[in-house]
Every structure is written in structure tokens, then in C-alpha cells.
Structure 1
Amino acid sequence: MPKLLPPLNALRAFEATARHLSFSRAAEELNVTPAALSHQVAGLEAFLGERLFNRSARTISLTPAGDLLYPGLNAAFAQIRQSVERVMETGDGQILVVSAPPGLTAKWLVPRLHRFLAAHPELDVRVSASLMLASFAGDGVDVAIRNATGPFPGLWSRKFLEIETLPIVSPRLIEQYGPLETPDDLARFPIIHDDSLGRMFGLPTWMDWLKAAGAEHVDLSRGLHFSSADHAIEAALEGAGVLLGVRSLAIDDVRVGRLVFPLSLSLRSERSFHIVCPAGHENRPKIAAFCAWILDEAAKLGLACTDDSPPPVSEGKRGRRSVSAAGNDPSPNAPAPAARPQRRGRARQAPT
């Protein structure tokens, strides 16, 4: 009778931890907490009756038993992934699963996605709007959009949109409260807070913007608070207050006159929107097509990030680029410096 095998989740936990030699990085890949992953590894050690890792305060290393177990598991999981990918390419290969933050999904991606579908009617696109990082290993995601600084170990990545924040308001609110021509005028207006800015290191907040503008009499203790950028923008559209928001997420509403950028000072973050996928997957036809399209859409706005790296090339179209839009190399792995002002001057309405 064959011997019982350990639980598959425990084997996955060990393989990822051994590959990264880090519980935290393995937990991020598998989309579990480090504590849960450590518990799974401990269960595997109990099942085998062997310690698999030497643990110290800051590092881990494989024991002889771990060294014996890892190569076979690593090769086995690689074969499983390759087999699944082959089936997906022949079966559901025309399904493209995209993971993106909720705010960007609602205010930027969804209004444009019909153009991608029109250009690629053979593809069935499924969008998962989530703040959780896609693991790619087991969640079925093909490509993801991340608001981050990078780099992304093990992933191909390209910046495609700068993130800069500035005041956003409905013209109706200006009619109600009077001119909004200087930062000090904000003291007369209700304020809207996008709390997602404060949760992410490197994103400017109202406090940062007012300090850069030299405005000292705006009461930030008042106003509506929202945990999602798209909800905060919807509140601004309804005339609930002045929002410090992300330019690229509000640009469509500004162009049709539903919102305006009343003050010219903006703060650029060291974070950007990146498109990412597992390294080597960027040349798969459906992923290459989506990446090329999203870079082109960003370029049309005039807010795209630029660098000299080539765009992805479809495996079926080697030798020619998929799009001429510029992209990015990942940002250096260093703490983001303070947000910097982009412009200062008299208030104006952005052109539509």
C-alpha cells in the first residue's frame, strides 16, 4: 500500500520558502500570512519527523533533510505549472484574467476596456478589482496592475502611469462657495479625504499638499472620508467637497467638464502604476496584446511614464514591436523620497 503523502499546501509552503529562503516572501507569493505559512511548514516537519530549516533571528537555511526534499518538489511544482499553462493555452487560452486596484479599475480601466475588446474580440477578459497582490501561482491571474515603486522580483514589469495628486472639485461647488483661486480659498470649502493615499507610503496627502502650497488655515479635521479612490471621486462629482485625488483617475471627468483642477500645484509621487506578470509571460500573445494596449492608452493621456526599454513582443510576432508607447524599468529598491511639487501658480481650470 502506498505511503500517505503530506498535505499539498504544506509541500507548496515548504517549496516556496526554500526557493526564497524567506518566510515573508514565500507568504506573499502564496497570498497567506507568514504565521500561516510557518504553521504549514511546521506541520510538514512533524509529518516527516525531520527539521527542514535552520532558523536564526534573521535568516533561514535548509537542513540536510531540506536539501534532500527541495530539488524534487521544485521540479514537480514547475512541471505542474507548465502542464496547467499548456492546458490553458489550448483550452481557456483565450481568457485573460486581469487584477487591478478598485480605484484604477473603476475610473480608468473600465471606461477604456471596450477598445481593447473591440481590437481583440477573440479574448474573454475577466477583471478582478482588489487591493490584494496577485500571486500568479494559484489565483489564475495572467497580468496585474500595481500601485508601487518596484522592483518586483520574479516578475516582468513596466510603469505606465505617473501618480500625481492635486485638488479636484465639481464646478457646481465653486458656484456655491465662490472662487477657488488660491490654496487659502480651500478654508471656505468642505474637504473630501481619500484615505487610501495615507495607507500607502510615498503617496502625498492633504497635509503634504497644503504644506507645499503654504496654506495654513485649512481645517483637515473635518470632511468626508473614503477608503477607496473611486468612491471619493464620486463624492466630488456630487459636489460634496474638494478632493485631493490622483490626476489620471479624474482626467476623464475633467475632460467632459464634470470636474476641474482648480489649482495648478500638484505633487508627484515616487509610486507609479505598473503592469506586471510572471517573468517570461510578457511575450505570450494575449498578455503582450494587453500590455501594448495599456501602454498606448496611457500615452494618449500624456501622463505615461517613459524609458528606453522595449514593449513586450508577442511570441507569434517576433521581430517587430507590438506598440511604440514607452514604458519602464522597475524603480530602484529604495525608500521613496518625499513627494515633490510639480507646479505652482495661480489657480486655473485644466483644459478639457
Structure 2
Amino acid sequence: MNRLSDMQLLVDAADLGSLSSAGRRAGLSPAAASACVQRIEASLGARLFERTTRQLRLTDEGRAYIASCRMAIETMREAEQAVRTGVNRISGTLRVSTPSDLGRNVIVHILDRFMVQHPDVRIVLTLSDSLSRFVPDDVDVAIRVGPLEDTDLVARHLADSWRVVCASPTCVATQGMPTHPEDLADLPTLVITTNAGPRNEWRLGDAVVRVRRYHESTDSEVIRTWAVLGRGFAYRQLWAVANDVREGRLVLVHAPAWSAPSPIHALYHANTFQPPRVRSFVDYLQKEMATLMPSGANNALGLHFG
């Protein structure tokens, strides 16, 4: 139990930004709290905090270690709760990050059903089109679309989605329907921008086209709105524009010939003591995604790609 108390002191210090405040919460004097942290750092052979008279800041080693401390503490609490109640109830905070389109159109509904089954789980959902790295102390499960870079994280394949070229009927009538993928290079287009820059290189079937005339935005919803308003051709995930296509606001351009599959993965820590809520959510997510996108071939429009 001393080890768990040490872990809780570290977590409190990181959350409160003060070693003295963390010590008071644990019933320790500032000197005793400082001595405890020094003892832990000595046993680890690494400095966890950079300490000044005004600021307590985590080192890189501290961020990684305290993220594991959080998991260990929450796992123990869940185990104790299960023993007390005799029921394997899942609880605690589940932090999920996902691209905006996928989050709004798919993940939010999956999370809603998960919350009904597990009402004691608190959800923290982050939606962003600029998510480019997994933040160890902020995220339990990161959902990513597209090829993965090398990572030490566990990557579980969930499904395959499809990127499609789409435009409003007005845009097609004004600009004409492109005949070859290369035609899009000089047509007005709409491009999402991330931390890595504008995504103006589109894979259309066997061709790769770099579009040159484009408006850009960091918000995928802006891109969808511009497309509906006729401002250009967009290259979006099919599930993000499915309702617009069904209702005639957008049309698909040479689908599926110009469409490309994109794998969807769930990324999480390779941790032996993974909290039950994380394991349960990833299992549930994989089952739900397989139902929504079986073999990456089916979709909300009734089209069968692949």
C-alpha cells in the first residue's frame, strides 16, 4: 500500500501543480512530501519533476511514469469496487481522441451506447482534425484513420473506410464533371489542413493527384459546408458526407473507381494492467465498427466498394 500512496502523491502533485498541496492532501508536511518524491526519484534513477520556488513541472520521464501511476490507481479502485459489490462493474474516466468527422458521425453514437451499458464510466472525448500524436497522460484510446506510423502502442484494426471525391450539383454543372483524376489538379478544390500542412495530395484509385487550386481550413465541417455551397470538389470520408449525398446536396465523383480505402485503428498503451474500462471499450468499439463497416465494403449509402 505504500507504493500506491507514493503513486497517489505523485498524481496529486502533477494535478495540483504543487508538492506542498499534494502533501497536505495526503496528511504530510511539505518536507515529508518532498522527501517522499526524492526517495521515489532515487529508486527510479530519474527526475520526475523540475522544481522551482514558483513552479512544479513534469519532466518527460515524469509524464510517462505518472500516466502509468494513474492507470494503476484506477485499476486498483475498480478491483476493490468489484470485490465490494460482487459485480464486475466498470467505472472511472475514459479519455478518447478521434478525428472530428469520425467523432461526430460515428464514435459519438458508439460512445452513447457504451455509456448506457456502463453508466459508471465518465467519458472525455476530444475531437480534432489536427491530432497527430498520441499524448500518453491525456488519452486512453486514440482512434486514427489512415496508415499508421511506427509506434510502440498497441494498434487494433477496427474497419476500413473509404475516401471519396464529392461536389455539389451546382459545382459539377459550373465546372463540369472531371473525366480523369488529373483534371482535378486545376479545378477548384477544398482541402483540410493539419499541423503537417494542407492535405492536397489525393489518391484516386491508382492515381495520385496534387490539387493546386484550393481553399483550405483546419475544420472538416467547414470543408463539408463549402462543398455543399458549391465552392469546389472535396476529398472526404464517405461516412462524413453520407447524409448530404442521400439528400442530394452532394454527388459522388466516379465512385468507387476514384475512391481509396483508409484503415481505422484504435491505439492504446501496451500495459499489462490496462484498466478494465479501456479493454471493454476497445472490444466494444471493434464489434460496433465491424457491424457498421463490415470488411470495409458496406456503407450508409448502400454502395459496395472493394
TM-score if structure 1 supplies the norm length?
0.52
State the alpha-carbon separation in 2 of the partners of residues 13 and 257 from structure 1: 63
What RMSD over aligned residues (CA atoms) do the two structures have, in Å? 4.8
The one-character-per-residue Cα deviations of 1:192-230 (angstroms, maximum 9, x if unpaired) are 122349749xx8823x549828x8xxx943231123434
SS of structure 2 residue aligned to 1:225? strand
For 1:273, the equivalent position in structure 2 comes to 264
State the alpha-carbon separation in 1 of the partners of residues 111 and 69 from structure 2: 34
Shift of 1:178: 6.7
Shift of 1:285: 4.1
The percent identity for this pair of structures is: 20
For 2:11, the equivalent position in structure 1 comes to none
Residue type at the aligned position of 2:133: L
Shift of 1:242: 0.9
For 1:160, the equivalent position in structure 2 comes to 158
State the alpha-carbon separation in 1 of the partners of residues 293 and 231 from structure 2: 29
Is 2:204 the counterpart of 1:205? Answer: no
For 2:174, the equivalent position in structure 1 comes to 177
- CA 1:287–1:194 in 2, change beyond 3 Å: closer, same or farther? same
Question: Is the 1:96–1:124 contact (alpha carbons within 8 Å) kept by the matching residues of 2?
Answer: yes
State the alpha-carbon separation in 1 of the partners of residues 195 and 206 from structure 2: 16
Question: Is the 2:75–2:275 contact (alpha carbons within 8 Å) kept by the matching residues of 1?
Answer: no
State the alpha-carbon separation in 1 of the partners of residues 196 and 174 from structure 2: 27
- CA 1:250–1:80 in 2, change beyond 3 Å: closer, same or farther? closer
SS of structure 2 residue aligned to 1:182? coil
- CA 1:133–1:85 in 2, change beyond 3 Å: closer, same or farther? farther
Residue type at the aligned position of 1:254: V
State the alpha-carbon separation in 1 of the partners of residues 264 and 157 from structure 2: 6
Structure 1 window deviating more from structure 2 (260-269 vs 3-12): it is 3-12
For 1:239, the equivalent position in structure 2 comes to 230
The one-character-per-residue Cα deviations of 1:100-156 (angstroms, maximum 9, x if unpaired) are 2334323432355433334444433220224153333x32x3222134425532x33
For 2:289, the equivalent position in structure 1 comes to 298
In the TM superposition, 1:106-185 aligns within 5 A as 106-130=104-128, 131=131, 133-136=133-136, 138-139=137-138, 141-147=139-145, 148-153=147-152, 155-162=153-160, 164-174=162-172, 176-177=173-174, 180=177, 182-183=179-180
Return 5+ residue gaps in structure 2 as ranges: 1-30, 49-57, 82-89
- CA 1:281–1:8 in 2, change beyond 3 Å: closer, same or farther? closer
Quick one: which of 65, 72, 76 aligns to 1:82?
72
Shift of 1:81: 5.0
Residue type at the aligned position of 1:101: P
State the alpha-carbon separation in 1 of the partners of residues 213 and 277 from structure 2: 47
Aligned pairs, how many?
246
State the alpha-carbon separation in 2 of the partners of residues 289 and 104 from structure 1: 20
For 2:10, the equivalent position in structure 1 comes to none
The one-character-per-residue Cα deviations of 1:156-189 (angstroms, maximum 9, x if unpaired) are 3211233543312233433x42752623775895
Return 5+ residue gaps in structure 1 as ranges: 17-31, 41-73, 307-348
SS of structure 1 residue aligned to 2:251? coil
Residue type at the aligned position of 1:134: F
Question: Whose strand proportion is higher, 1 or 2?
Answer: 2
- CA 1:267–1:351 in 2, change beyond 3 Å: closer, same or farther? closer
